[in-house]
Amino acid sequence: MKIFSNTSQQLLEQSLNAASLRQKTISQNIANVDTPNYKAKKTVFKHQLNRAIDDQRLTAYRTDSRHIPFGGTQSISPSVVVDRTKTMFNHNGNNVDIEHEMSEMAKNQIYYNAMIERLNGRFNSLKTVIGGGK
């Protein structure tokens, strides 16, 4: 039984990193709300999180550093920033939808806080165990 490097805790860490990156992306979009020809960016991480869970079931060894890592190892970048291109454009080529960005930000805040709560919950459980239930 691994105390600090078990799957759920690593997933929590990765989701916190991703939520932090998403916050930066949303900041960038809102900062460029008036910039001509700016294309809104989006942080994608949920499906990669699912893939990471799937990968845990699979173990593989790399015999060469040039091989693509899969299974076992943690992916280095669990979230990616992509341009959002298939949305409506303003007259100046900017496609930042401020309502969408603000609601995404609200969602991201709640998500981030929930992850922190969960992480704290885990640490509290560990504390209880270490203290022998006292």
| Chain positions contacting other proteins, by CB under 8 A | 16, 19-21, 23-28, 30-36, 38, 41, 43, 77, 79-82, 98, 102, 105, 109, 112-113, 116, 119-120, 123-124, 127
- Find the shortest distance in angstroms from Cβ 34 to other proteins: 6
- Residue carrying the six token digits 């499906």: 47
Query: How far is residue 107's CA from residue 112's CA, in Å, rounded to a whole number?
Result: 9
Beta-ladder partners of 42? 82
- CA dist., res. 123 & res. 112, Å (int): 17
Alpha-carbon distance of 101 to 30, in angstroms, equals 7
Question: Nearest approach, Cβ of 57 to other proteins (angstroms)?
Answer: 25
Closer to other proteins by Cβ: residue 7 or 35:
35
Q: Which is nearer to other proteins, 55 or 78 (CB)?
A: 78
Of 24 and 67, the one with the shorter C-beta distance to other proteins is 24
**Which of 25, 37, 28, 30 shows the shortest CA–CA distance to 90?**
37
Q: How far is the CB of 73 from other proteins (least distance, A)?
A: 17
Cβ atoms within 10 Å of 38's Cβ, excluding its own = 19
The least distance separating other proteins from the CB of residue 108, rounded to whole angstroms, comes to 8
